[in-house]
A and B are shown apart, each in its own frame.
Chain A
C-alpha cells in the first residue's frame, strides 16, 4: 500500500479513519499543551511523567484486573500526578536541581513499573497481553472509544485554555506580576500542569512511554520558530502536531513492520528541523544570510571611511584619487567599489575614484549613525 492508496482508503476504511483521527487529535492536543510546557521550561516533564505513569498502569491492572484502557489511564494519571508533585517537592524543599529530580522520578517510577509488569506476567491468571503496548505504543490498537476519550479531553483542555487564556499567558511570562494582580498562581499552575499530565497519559497508548516527550515538545519547538505570539504558537503547534500524527500514521500504515509512534516522532522531528533552518526570523539559514550581508556592509563602510579620511584632507570633495592609494587598505575589491558606485556614494572613472556629495555626508555621519542605532 502506498501513501496515496492510504489516503484513498481513508474515506472508506473505518479502522483507518479511527486511527488517523486518533493520532491527529492526539497530535493537536499535545502540540497545544506542549507549547505551554516548552515556554514554562518544563520540556522534560513530559519525559518524566510518561515514564512515571507506568507503575500506575500496572497497579490499576493489578487492582481491578481490567484491561479496559480508560481504567488503566486513570491509574496512569494518578501515578503521573504523584510523580509530578514529587518532582516539585524535591525541587522546592531540597537543594537537588530540577534535572536530578526529573531523572530520579523518571527512572525510579519506571523501574518500579517494570517490577510490577514482570510480576504481573508471572501471575497464573495473567491476561496481561496489551500492557506492554504502553511501552512503545500501538496506534493500531486505538478503537472508537479511545478516540472519544481523546476528543473529550482535547475539547476540555481547549475550553480551559480559552477560559483561562489571559491568566495562563500572564503566568507564562511574569509570575510575580500575576501574583501581584491577585490571581491564584498556585491554582493556575496546578491546572495547567494537570492538563499537561492528562495529555501525556492519553498519548501513552499511541506513541508509548519512551517517545511521548518528543510528541509533546517537537510541535511546540517547531511552532516557536515561526512566531512570537502565544496564540499563533499554540495554533501552529496544534496544526504541526496533527499533521505529524496524520502523516506518521499514513507512512507507517503504508509499509510493513513500522510502528506508528517512531514514525510520528520522526515526522515531528522533520518539522522541527525544517523550522530551525527555514523560519524567516529565527531560522539558521536566514540568520546566516543576514549575518553575511551585515559583514559585507561593514566592509563597505570601512572602505568608505578610509576614503573619507583621504578626501578630508582635500578642499574639493569630488577631487578624484587613484584607486592605487587604496592598495595599502585591504578591505576593498572591484566588486565592493562597484557596489559603492551603485549606491551613488562614489564615482569611478577608470583608475580614479572620487566621493560624491552623498558619499561624503554618509561617511561623515557613519559613526553618528552607529551611536543612534545603539
Chain B
C-alpha cells in the first residue's frame, strides 16, 4: 500500500466521520433532505467566491460556500413559514434554482472559471493526494487531509461541548426552550456545521457522496439502536467501514471511489434494513405475522366462549362461520392446542380451564383498552408463540 493510497483512505475515513456526526442529528430531526439541498446550493457560493477572490484555494471560498448552504436553509424556512407551500416543495425548488444560478454563472464565464460542475457533484478522491499543503516549501501532506481533519476536530469539540443541548433540542424542542437553550441557535449551528462539512468534503468526494455519507450511516444506526450515543458511534463506524471497503472495491474495479463507497454503503444499508434485530424488515414482517395469528387465535377463542351449542363449535365450522381458509384454521387450531387452550373431542372444540382464563382476561383488557398490557399477558399464557 503506497502512501498515496493510505492518504486517500485516511481522507475518506475523515470525511465519513465528519459527515456521520451532523448526519445523525439531521436524520433524527427529520431534516435529511436538507443535506441534499445544501450539497447542491453551495455551487453558486463557490462560483461567487471565486469571482471575488480569483483563487480556487482561498479559505474565503469555503466560507462563502458554507454561507450559501445556510442561506438555502433560511430561504427554505422562510418560504415554508409563509404557508404558501409545504416544506418539501420549498426544498424541492430552492436548491435546483440556486444550483442553476451556479451552473449559468460558470457557463457564462467558462473561460475564467476552472470549476467543473461534474467535479462538484461527483468529486474525485483519487486526485486528492496530488494537492499538497506546502508551508515554507515543506510538504505537510494532502491539503484535503488538513481541511477535513480540522473540520472533524471542530465538529467533535462542538459535539462534546454541546451534546446535552443537542440531545434535548433534538428530542424535545419545547423542553429545550424552557430550559433556556435557544433551539434556534442550535438549529442554525447544526446547519452551519452541515454546510461547512459539505463544502469541506465535496472536492474530495463530491456533493452526492456527502449526502450518502450523512444519511446512510445514520439511518443504519437508527435501525440498530435507540440510544443517541450508540447511534453516533455506530454511524461513525459504518461510515469508516464503507470508506475503507469502498476504496478497495474501487481499486479492484478501477472505478470512481466515491461511487463505490456509496455502493458499499448501499449494500450495508440493505443488509441492516433486512436483518436488523427488532427493527429490520424481516423481523418486522415476522412480528406482524405473529400478531396476526395471535389475533386470529383470540377471535377464535372468544367465538368458542360465546357459543355453547355444539354446531357452532364443530371443527369444520371455522372455515364456514369465521370465513377462514383451511391453512389458516389449521395454524390457529394447532397453536391453540399447543398452548393447551382447547381440547377437541369428536371434532367438537371446547375451551380448557386455561383457555377460559385467558379469554376472560383478554376480554378485560379489550374492554379497558390497554393495548400494551396484552403483550405481557400473552407471555404469561403462551408456551408457544404464533
What is A's interface to B at a CB cutoff of 8 Å? 38, 41-44, 46-47, 51, 89-90, 93-97, 99-100, 102-104, 106-119, 122, 132, 135-136, 210-211, 213-218, 220-221, 224-225, 257-259, 261-263, 265-266, 268-269, 272, 276, 282, 284
Contacts and interface: CB of A to CB of B under 8 A. Distances in A.
Contacts of B254: 119, 122
B35 interface: yes
Contacts of B40: 210
Contacts of B179: none
B212 A108 contact: yes
Contact of A110 (B84, B260, B262, B280): B262
Interface stretch (B135-143, B214-222, B305-313, B353-361): B214-222
A262 B103 contact: yes
Given A44-B33, A115-B253, A214 B262 contact: no
Chain B interface, >50% SS class = helix
Contacts of A99: 30-33, 88
A107 B99 contact: no
Contacts of A218: 93, 97
Interface stretch (B104-112, B153-161, B341-349): B104-112
B262 A213 contact: no
Interface of B: 27, 30-33, 35-36, 40, 79, 82, 84-86, 88-89, 91-93, 96-97, 99-101, 103-104, 107-108, 110, 117-118, 121-122, 208-209, 211-212, 214-216, 218-219, 222-223, 250, 253-256, 258-263, 265-266, 269, 273, 279-281, 284-285
Chain A interface, >50% SS class = helix
B40 to A, nearest CB: 7
Contacts of A112: 259, 262-263, 266
B35 to A, nearest CB: 7
Given A114-B258, A269-B100, A284 B82 contact: yes
B93 A217 contact: yes
28 contacts: A89-B281, A94-B281, A100-B215, A100-B222, A104-B32, A104-B215, A107-B215, A107-B216, A110-B262, A111-B262, A111-B265, A114-B262, A115-B253, A115-B255, A115-B262, A210-B99, A211-B100, A214-B96, A218-B97, A220-B89, A221-B93, A224-B85, A258-B104, A263-B100, A269-B93, A269-B97, A269-B100, A276-B82
B121 A43 contact: no
B285 to A, nearest CB: 7
Contact of B211 (A38, A107, A113, A221): A107
Given A38-B85, A44-B88, A89-B281, A115 B100 contact: no
A95 B31 contact: no
A136 B82 CA distance: 31
Contact of A44 (B91, B118, B273, B281): B91
B104 A118 contact: no
Given A108-B265, A111-B258, 18 more contacts: A38-B86, A89-B281, A99-B33, A100-B218, A100-B222, A103-B215, A104-B219, A106-B36, A107-B215, A110-B208, A111-B209, A114-B262, A214-B100, A221-B84, A258-B104, A269-B97, A276-B82, A276-B84
